[in-house]
């Protein structure tokens, strides 16, 4: 059986939850219920459906947009935060769609950061470019990103002029964005690519009088000589051009040349595999997953959707051994937890204060857990996706305690958003198959909350020691029935609520909850 053969059987609830944990920032219980029994192909079709462009963020003071206005220095920090809160809420409110997870993927691939760019309007436009192309065509995307004002600022493309070519973007274009550092390109290739890219600049940066932001090609700053590349690129010569279209013409030739190298599609497919599936790429996976995906990528003229479709409905994806192989990123942990318990951000046009209250809380947790939106630490992105150990980088002496602090705030109801606690554990337990049976309750709850299955010894420990504090199981049945008959009786309510709260607090701190 080939690893990329389609998994055609109807999906169980566990498989649906697993698919949505990987392809989105986590499922809601309603999504698990509604999608159970569908095939992977049916769900993938929904995941890849184009989504409408979201309305831009609003200023909390004026209730108006600010990305399309002149730059305001005194509001710079505030508006930058609004953009991040706005994006956090888009992730929280996402439908069954790959769009938000892929937008985050590309922000970790075509990296810029607000610390360097330092113009909130540029960062909003950059995020818009990411989401517009997240599921589109990689060639089109790369050409557009090369001209993007934020990227021109971040990697000094706006300083790249004939005679004093700046090699920064030309290097990262090859090393990080396309062929990869093991792709065989040379220093001469970097220099030649830099000459191809001379003449581009951004306009409108931090302009307090003009709202327009754009990029432009200035032919007088362009190197019009022929550019010769190494054997890695079949000794290609990109013809030097002059005039208004020279920049785009040579840029297109450059990207076409890079895409012709067999390593480029493999490099992109490896990054997608590590983001969504597993950091460990074995020889078998390289030969029977990465290479076929790369072939498909090339055959589809570098459209992204066919690759994702093949990957997410493959036999390999549904291999039970891969479940729990990824440590949750802060976005997966925080937003996934909120989504499971039904938190949604309100429409910003209806309640902008509440919209930003939720977005601010999410963004603050992501930042302290070391995944600052729109601000990866360097051009390589977040360390968990390139450094030795990969996802293990999310867990350290600082973040482990903060992850626990986040979940504790939910179970103790110390956190209230939109004026109410995020978790109503009693209402949730009533939806389970048999709340009167402690063992069934634990089985149902752990099956829904955890990405990996527990053995019976673990379940018994959670039931008898954590939930029941060593009282006999039949006493739970009596306590629950007493509460169910008298739900307004505070003593009876507290008897079951304290146990369930303690149980959830323990579950959220388990290693099994930290993985997808």
Please give the DSSP secondary-structure letter assigned to residue 457: H
Residue 40 inside a domain? The answer is no
CA 235 to each of CA 109, 218, 238, 350: distance values in angstroms, whole numbers, following the listed order = 27, 28, 10, 59
| Nearest C-alpha neighbor of 147 from the set 191, 197, 105, 219 | 197
Q: What is the pTM of this model?
A: 0.97
Residue 115 inside a domain? The answer is no
Residue 256, both tokens? 């076409």
CA–CA dist 268, 263 (Å, integer): 9
Residue 69 inside a domain? The answer is no
Per-residue pLDDT reduced to its tens digit, 383-401: 999 999 999 999 999 999 9
CA 80 to each of CA 112, 128, 231, 374: distance values in angstroms, whole numbers, following the listed order = 14, 14, 44, 9
3-state secondary structure 219-239: HHHCCCCCEECCHHHCCCEEC
Please give the DSSP secondary-structure letter assigned to residue 383: G
Please give the DSSP secondary-structure letter assigned to residue 157: G
Could you report how far apart the first and last alpha carbons of the chain are, in Å?
A: 25
Helices 305-312, 13-23: axis angle to 10 degrees equals 150
Residue 97 inside a domain? The answer is no
Mean pLDDT calculated for residue range 479-496: 96
Boundary of a domain, candidates 221, 241, 261: 261
By CB atoms closer than 10 A (0-12, 13-18, 19+), residue 26 is buried
CA–CA dist 494, 132 (Å, integer): 49
Lowest mean pLDDT among 83-87, 102-106, 108-112, 411-415: 411-415
Residue 162 inside a domain? The answer is yes
Per-residue pLDDT reduced to its tens digit, 292-351: 999 999 999 999 999 999 999 999 999 999 999 999 999 999 999 999 999 999 999 999
CA–CA dist 145, 126 (Å, integer): 8
- pLDDT confidence bin for 205, thresholds 50/70/90: very high
Provide the domain limits for residue 208: 153-261
Q: Please provide the average confidence, as pLDDT, over all residues in the chain.
A: 97
Provide the 3-class DSSP secondary structure of residue 437.
coil
Over its C-alpha atoms, the chain yields an Rg (Å, rounded) of 25
Boundary of a domain, candidates 261, 278, 302: 261
Residue 237 inside a domain? The answer is yes
Residue 498 inside a domain? The answer is yes
pLDDT at 84 over 80: yes
Contact indicator for 166, 203 with CB cutoff of 8 Å = no
Provide the 3-class DSSP secondary structure of residue 394.
helix
Contact indicator for 345, 89 with CB cutoff of 8 Å = yes
Residue 394, both tokens? 């999310």
Mean pLDDT calculated for residue range 225-244: 98
Per-residue pLDDT reduced to its tens digit, 453-465: 999 999 999 999 9
Provide the sign of the torsion angle of the four alpha carbons 200, 205, 209, 210, taken in this order.
positive
Contact indicator for 242, 224 with CB cutoff of 8 Å = yes
Per-residue pLDDT reduced to its tens digit, 266-295: 999 999 999 999 999 999 999 999 999 999
| Nearest C-alpha neighbor of 57 from the set 296, 256, 288, 347 | 347
Instruction: Count structural domains, the chain.
Output: 2
Mean pLDDT calculated for residue range 404-429: 88
Mean pLDDT calculated for residue range 153-179: 98
Residue 435 inside a domain? The answer is yes
pLDDT at 110 over 50: yes
Boundary of a domain, candidates 220, 243, 261: 261
pLDDT at 245 over 80: yes
pLDDT value of position 412: 83
Q: Which residues pair with 213 in a beta bridge?
A: none
| Nearest C-alpha neighbor of 6 from the set 44, 37, 63 | 44
pLDDT value of position 415: 83
Per-residue pLDDT reduced to its tens digit, 32-72: 999 999 999 999 999 999 999 999 999 999 999 999 999 99
Element (H or E) spanning 14, and its range? helix 13-23
Contact indicator for 139, 301 with CB cutoff of 8 Å = yes
pLDDT value of position 1: 47
Provide the 3-class DSSP secondary structure of residue 200.
strand
């Amino acid at each position: 059986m080939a690893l990329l053969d389609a998994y055609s059987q109807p999906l169980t609830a566990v498989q649906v939850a697993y698919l949505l944990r990987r392809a989105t920032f986590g499922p809601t219980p309603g999504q698990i219920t509604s999608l159970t029994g569908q095939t992977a192909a049916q769900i993938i079709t929904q995941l890849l459906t184009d989504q409408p462009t979201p309305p831009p963020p609003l200023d909390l003071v004026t209730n108006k947009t600010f990305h399309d206005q002149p730059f305001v220095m005194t509001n710079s920090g505030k508006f930058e935060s609004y953009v991040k809160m706005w994006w956090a809420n888009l992730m929280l409110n996402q439908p069954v769609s790959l769009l938000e997870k892929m937008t985050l993927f590309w922000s970790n691939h075509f990296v810029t950061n607000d610390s360097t760019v330092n113009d909130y309007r540029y960062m909003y436009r950059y995020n818009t470019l990411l989401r517009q192309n997240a599921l589109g065509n990689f060639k089109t995307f790369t050409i557009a990103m090369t001209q993007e004002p934020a990227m021109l600022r971040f990697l000094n493309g706006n300083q790249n002029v004939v005679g004093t070519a700046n090699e920064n973007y030309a290097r990262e274009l090859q090393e990080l964005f396309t062929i990869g550092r093991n792709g065989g390109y040379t220093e001469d290739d970097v220099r030649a690519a830099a000459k191809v890219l001379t003449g581009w600049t951004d306009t409108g940066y931090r302009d307090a009088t003009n709202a327009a932001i754009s990029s432009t090609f200035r032919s007088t700053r362009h190197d019009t000589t022929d550019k010769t590349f190494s054997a890695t690129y079949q000794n290609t010569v990109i013809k030097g051009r002059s005039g208004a279209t020279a920049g785009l013409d040579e840029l297109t030739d450059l990207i076409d040349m890079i895409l012709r190298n067999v390593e480029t599609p493999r490099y992109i497919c490896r990054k997608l595999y590590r983001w969504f599936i597993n950091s460990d790429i074995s020889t078998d996976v390289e030969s029977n997953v990465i290479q076929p995906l790369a072939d498909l990528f090339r055959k589809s003229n570098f459209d992204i959707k066919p690759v994702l479709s093949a990957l997410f409905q493959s036999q390999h994806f549904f291999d039970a051994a891969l479940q729990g192989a990824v440590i949750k990123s802060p976005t997966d942990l925080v937003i996934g937890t909120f989504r499971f318990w039904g938190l949604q951000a309100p429409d910003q046009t209806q309640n902008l204060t509440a919209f930003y209250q939720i977005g601010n809380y999410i963004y603050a947790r992501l930042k302290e857990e070391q995944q600052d939106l729109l601000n990866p630490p360097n051009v390589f992105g977040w360390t968990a996706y390139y450094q030795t150990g990969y996802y293990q980088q999310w867990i350290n002496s600082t973040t482990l305690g903060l992850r626990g602090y986040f979940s504790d705030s939910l179970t103790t109801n110390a956190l209230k958003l939109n004026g109410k606690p995020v978790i109503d554990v009693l209402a949730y337990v009533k939806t389970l198959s048999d709340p009167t049976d402690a063992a069934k309750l634990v089985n149902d709850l752990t099956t829904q909350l955890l990405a990996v299955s527990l053995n019976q010894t673990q379940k018994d420990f959670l039931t008898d020691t954590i939930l029941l504090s060593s009282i006999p199981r039949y006493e739970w049945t009596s306590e629950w029935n007493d509460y169910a008959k008298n739900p307004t009786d505070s003593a009876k309510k507290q008897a079951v609520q304290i146990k369930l709260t303690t149980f959830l607090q323990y579950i959220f701190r388990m290693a099994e909850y930290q993985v997808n």
